[in-house]
Amino acid sequence: MYYRPPLDVPALQVLAVEFSGADATVTSFVIVVLGSLGNPLGTALGGVVYGVCYMLVQTYLSSWADLLPYVLLIFILLLRPSGLLGRQVRVA
């Protein structure tokens, strides 16, 4: 039998908040599309670019930090639709 602490302690109430995972899903999708689909090196580069941009936005414009994945995704897809390390596809 496991010990389960009561949730009437304020510190434990803060820790009991449920995590839906929607933020992690959106962030993961943006990182994969940013790097380029199917390219592990591009995904790693996308993660580094996203992390640096997120820290800069959180430092200087903290109220806009939740909007960063969407703005970054739109910006990269407008400049390079194939991603950072994606190859151009020949259209026949």
Nearest to 32 by CA among 75, 88, 82, 92: 82
HSE-CB for 69 with a 13 A CA cutoff: 14
Q: Rounded CA gap, 82 and 32, in Å?
A: 11
pTM above 0.85, yes or no: no
Report residue 7: phi and psi, to 5°.
Answer: -90, 15
4-33 pLDDT, tens digit each: 655 555 554 555 555 567 777 888 888 888
pLDDT of residue 25: 83
Mean per-residue pLDDT of the chain: 78
User: Over 70: is that where the pLDDT of 74 sits?
Assistant: yes
Exposed, middle or buried by CB within 10 Å (0-12, 13-18, 19+), for 34? buried
